[in-house]
Amino acid sequence: MTLPKNIASLAIDAQPTFCEGGGLGVAGGHAIMPKINQIRSQTEKGYWTQDWHPAGHSSFASTHGRAPFTTASMINGQIVADGTPGAYTQKLWTDHGIQGTAEAELHPDLVVRAGDMVVKKGTNPLIDSYSCVFENDKVTHPRFPNGNSVTDQLRTDGIDTVVVSGIALDVCVRDGACDLRDEGFRVVVVLDATAAITPEGQAATLDLFKKKGVEVTTLDQLASYFNPPSVTAAPRGPVNDP
């Protein structure tokens, strides 16, 4: 461990389902797993999120016979006509993160330590869940097995700064990082330990981070980011009287 005890690692959805060959594969997903391990090795506390959908989840295009990556107006997980009062817009995804499948497990290359905590999200078939802080209804909290929400657990553990990595930068990492910042935590995203769905999504996410006060660094700068080298003043020579 090299970082202070108030700083924790949080890896978002580091699962094969979001890597190349997975149900919702993102380019570069497999390659970031060693970097996530390096981040975890530098903190005393580690937390992980896991997309954990039941089969037939309302966010799946296949559930509704629709094309993936299109959008639909929904109420309680059911598609309704556009403009229906109370409806929300849902992006329809390929099937992914299905409970009990191998690709929904945490990535096999990850080093999950004894005492680390995993929060499963997206378990309600009627509500999608990007953020680790709120389901997409922005009311319901994903919870650890002990019943605590992510923010409750972080505060209980004395954490005020979260180092975030994972997939996808422009969806779940984005929403989780911004929600944690809104909840008063210092949030630092390690950019090269994330993978984005699109370059445009990454650019938009980085713009949003600036507005929200979410900080961004790279893995090789992480230790010095929190422990910047002290600047020593140059010794002064003798002062000569005129």
Closest CA to 120 of 93, 90, 89, 99: 99
Last residue of a domain, one of 74, 94, 114: 94
Q: Is the pLDDT of residue 142 over 70?
A: yes
The answer to whether residues 128 and 210 belong to one domain is: yes
Residue 201 domain-assigned? Answer: yes
Closest CA to 92 of 64, 119, 130, 123: 64
Give 65-111 pLDDT, tens digit per residue: 999 999 999 999 999 999 999 999 999 999 999 999 999 999 999 99
The answer to whether residues 138 and 159 belong to one domain is: yes
Report the pLDDT value the prediction gives residue 238, as an integer from 0 to 100. Answer: 53
Residue 168 domain-assigned? Answer: yes
Alpha-carbon span 119 to 86, nearest angstrom? 29
Would you say 214 and 189 are in contact if contact means Cβ atoms under 8 Å apart?
A: yes
The residues annotated with a catalytic role in the active site are 13, 121, 172
Domain containing 45: what range? 7-54+96-226
Report the pLDDT value the prediction gives residue 144, as an integer from 0 to 100. Answer: 98
The answer to whether residues 49 and 90 belong to one domain is: no
Report the pLDDT value the prediction gives residue 242, as an integer from 0 to 100. Answer: 47
Q: How confident is the model at residue 223 (pLDDT cuts 50, 70, 90)?
A: confident
Residue 74 domain-assigned? Answer: yes
Last residue of a domain, one of 73, 94, 115: 94
The answer to whether residues 104 and 41 belong to one domain is: yes
Residue 124 domain-assigned? Answer: yes
Q: Is the pLDDT of residue 207 over 60?
A: yes
The answer to whether residues 47 and 151 belong to one domain is: yes
Alpha-carbon span 115 to 45, nearest angstrom? 8
Q: Is the pLDDT of residue 227 over 90?
A: no
Q: Is the pLDDT of residue 1 over 90?
A: no
The answer to whether residues 72 and 187 belong to one domain is: no
Give 26-77 pLDDT, tens digit per residue: 999 999 999 999 999 999 999 999 999 999 999 999 999 999 999 999 999 9
Whole-number percent of the chain with pLDDT over 90: 91
The answer to whether residues 71 and 178 belong to one domain is: no
The answer to whether residues 100 and 87 belong to one domain is: no
The answer to whether residues 67 and 147 belong to one domain is: no
The answer to whether residues 214 and 139 belong to one domain is: yes
Mean pLDDT of the chain, nearest integer: 94
The answer to whether residues 43 and 87 belong to one domain is: no
Q: Domain holding 29: CATH number?
A: 3.40.50.850
Q: What is the mean pLDDT of residues 129-136?
A: 97
Residue 45 domain-assigned? Answer: yes
The answer to whether residues 64 and 48 belong to one domain is: no
Q: Is the pLDDT of residue 229 over 90?
A: no
Q: What is the mean pLDDT of residues 189-197?
A: 98
Site of tokens 């949003």: 208
Last residue of a domain, one of 94, 121, 144: 94
Burial class (CB in 10 A: 0-12, 13-18, 19+), 46: buried
Residue 22 domain-assigned? Answer: yes
Indicate the number of domains in the chain: 2
Instruction: Give the relative orientation of helices 174-182 and 199-212 as an angle to the nearest 10 degrees.
Output: 0
Residue 112 domain-assigned? Answer: yes
Residue 21 domain-assigned? Answer: yes
Q: Is the pLDDT of residue 232 over 70?
A: no
Report the pLDDT value the prediction gives residue 226, as an integer from 0 to 100. Answer: 87
